[in-house]
């Protein structure tokens, strides 16, 4: 089974989602005067501001617009109120109105940290990453130390939208230089370096978790790291926690099933996979179920699955393995020759063809295929083991040993 069901592109989208969702909560400051100095004279205005900020934290955007309109009709508008309404307008898809109102708010109070930051959120979500970076640069001039990590998170989001991962990582490192224990920045760096430096990434996730529960996207990436590190039993915990936060995410559920299967919890893994298939046809999930059945030695049912899928070389290779494991090696051999003819430089196909040839006593051809597989992939363990087994068989005159079922 594949240890990484999401691509780099999907990871970047998940990262951007984390940044933008974090920004709203982080920017929700206490009630302040219209220009940021002092309290309002009217305590009702302060109470209204607190109510609006609660609605923002709950992402009840239509209610924010209604509340802002009510306050403005009763007590008049101000830059903070306009910025709150502009954010809500942007979140409900009224982008042009949102931009106009943010510009009005910043014209009246250009030194507003919250308005620059929230304007950047709306710009990012509408795909205007260049202008968002400009707003974030302005925010860095006016935001205090408490919001600087937020600025860097969102600068990283903007760079990811532009496909500039290196610059995103620089933004995260800049944020960590002033807030080395910020859990979001630690987790984001872990996600960004997960492929290149998995051990360091895992350490960053652990440090982030020490500061509080990890968001679901971080937990998912930690689970994938542990799977890639051949630690499936440890991967189950973070993947299960990620599912509690987003039980409908098919990618997390598929990774969770993989962790269960590789930890030997086959019945639970099968239940997850069959649930996914029942919800929606999915060839990749069916392929995973077929592999799981092979691990359990249920080759006849697995064969049925692989024969029902698109007849790619990979699926035909699995079907041939099922045939071989049920004693139908001549049929497997015929299929596998076709696989190798279509993909002559695929080491797995070469190794499996060699296994079937060896089982049929055609040791010389089998040995040549294994040597070819090692030329293509010198670190291929299956080719090395089978070549050693074949050579021992040739010396002793006994059949070559079958390889274990595929993972």
User: Is the per-residue pLDDT at 399 higher than 80?
Assistant: no
| Phi, psi torsion values for 2, nearest 5 degrees | -70, 135
Q: Are 317 and 348 in contact (CB under 8 A)?
A: yes
Please state, as a whole number, how many other Cβ atoms lie within 10 Å of the Cβ of residue 96: 10
Q: Which pLDDT score is estimated for 283? A: 93
Weakest mean pLDDT among 12-26, 40-54, 133-147, 173-187: 12-26
For residues 321 and 406, the answer to whether their CB atoms sit within 8 Å is: yes
Average pLDDT over residues 65-82: 91
What is the average per-residue pLDDT within 253-273? 95
Residues in the chain: 407
pLDDT given at position 401: 54
Alpha helix (H) residue ranges in 327-362: 329-342, 347-359
pLDDT of residue 46: 84
More confident residue, 206 or 94: 94
- Name the band, by pLDDT with cuts 50, 70 and 90, for residue 398: low
**pLDDT score for 351:** 95
288-328 confidence digits (pLDDT tens): 999 999 999 999 999 999 999 999 999 999 999 999 999 99
pLDDT of residue 14: 46
Predicted pLDDT at 397: 64
Tokens for 256, please give them. 């969770």
Instruction: Out of 38-42, 106-110, 322-326, 370-374, pick the least confident.
Output: 38-42
220 C-beta neighbours (distance < 10 Å), count: 27
pLDDT at 232 over 70: yes
- Residue 407 pLDDT > 50: no
Tens-place pLDDT, residues 356-369 = 999 998 999 999 99
What percent of the chain stands above pLDDT 90?
A: 54
Distance between CA 239 and CA 262 in Å, rounded? 14
Question: Which whole number is the average pLDDT over 197-223?
Answer: 83
Q: Tell me the average pLDDT of the chain.
A: 85
What is the pLDDT, as a whole number, of residue 16?
43
Reported as a pLDDT band with limits 50, 70 and 90, residue 144 is confident
pLDDT of 31 > 50? The answer is no
Fold of domain 8-292: 1.25.40
Q: What are the boundaries of each domain within the chain?
A: 8-292, 308-396
Hunting for tokens 């699995």 — which residue is that? 318
Report pLDDT for 13: 41
Query: What is the per-residue pLDDT for 74?
Result: 84
Determine the pLDDT at residue 105: 95
pLDDT at 402: 55
Mean pLDDT for 204-211 is: 83
Question: What is the four-CA torsion angle of 64, 68, 74, 78, rounded to 10 degrees?
Answer: 150
Instruction: State mean pLDDT over 15-26.
Output: 43
Residue with tokens 């004693």: 327
CATH 1.25.40.10 fits 308-396, yes or no: yes
Are the folds of 8-292 and 308-396 the same? yes
Under 8 Å CB-to-CB from 364, ≥6 apart: which residues?
Answer: none
């Amino acid at each position: 089974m594949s240890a990484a069901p999401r691509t780099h592109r999907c990871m970047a989208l998940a990262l951007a989602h984390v940044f933008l969702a974090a920004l709203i909560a982080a920017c929700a400051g206490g009630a302040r005067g219209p220009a940021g100095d002092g309290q309002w004279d009217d305590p009702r205005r302060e109470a209204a501001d607190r109510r609006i900020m609660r609605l923002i934290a709950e992402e009840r955007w239509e209610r924010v617009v209604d509340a802002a309109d009510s306050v403005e009709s009763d007590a008049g508008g101000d830059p903070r109120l306009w910025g709150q309404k502009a954010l809500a307008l942007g979140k409900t898809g009224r982008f042009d109105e949102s931009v106009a109102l943010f510009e009005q708010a910043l014209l009246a109070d250009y030194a507003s940290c919250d308005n620059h930051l929230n304007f950047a959120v709306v710009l990012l979500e509408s795909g205007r990453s260049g202008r968002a970076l400009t707003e974030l640069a302005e925010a860095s001039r006016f935001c205090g130390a408490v919001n600087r990590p937020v600025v860097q998170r969102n600068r990283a989001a903007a760079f990811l939208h532009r496909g500039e991962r290196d610059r995103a990582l620089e933004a995260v490192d800049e944020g960590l230089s002033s807030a080395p224990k910020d859990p979001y920045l630690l987790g984001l760096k872990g996600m960004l370096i997960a492929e290149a430096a998995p051990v360091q990434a895992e350490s960053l996730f652990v440090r982030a978790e020490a500061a509080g529960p990890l968001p679901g996207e971080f937990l998912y990436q930690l689970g994938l790291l542990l799977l890639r590190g051949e630690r499936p039993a440890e991967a189950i915990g973070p993947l299960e926690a990620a599912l509690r936060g987003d039980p409908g995410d098919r990618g997390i559920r598929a990774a969770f099933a993989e962790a269960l299967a590789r930890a030997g919890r086959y019945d639970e893994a099968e239940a997850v996979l069959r649930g996914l298939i029942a919800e929606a046809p999915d060839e990749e999930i069916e392929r995973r179920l077929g592999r799981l059945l092979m691990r359990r030695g249920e080759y006849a049912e697995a064969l049925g699955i692989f024969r029902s899928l698109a007849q790619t070389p990979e699926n035909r290779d699995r079907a041939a393995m099922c045939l071989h494991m049920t004693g139908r090696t001549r049929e497997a051999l015929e299929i596998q020759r076709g696989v190798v003819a279509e993909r002559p430089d695929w080491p797995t196909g070469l190794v499996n063809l060699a296994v079937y040839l060896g089982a049929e006593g055609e040791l010389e051809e089998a040995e040549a295929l294994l040597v070819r597989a090692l030329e293509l992939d010198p670190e291929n363990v299956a080719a090395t083991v089978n070549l050693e087994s074949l050579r021992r068989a040739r010396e002793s005159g006994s059949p070559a040993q079958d390889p274990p079922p595929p993972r």
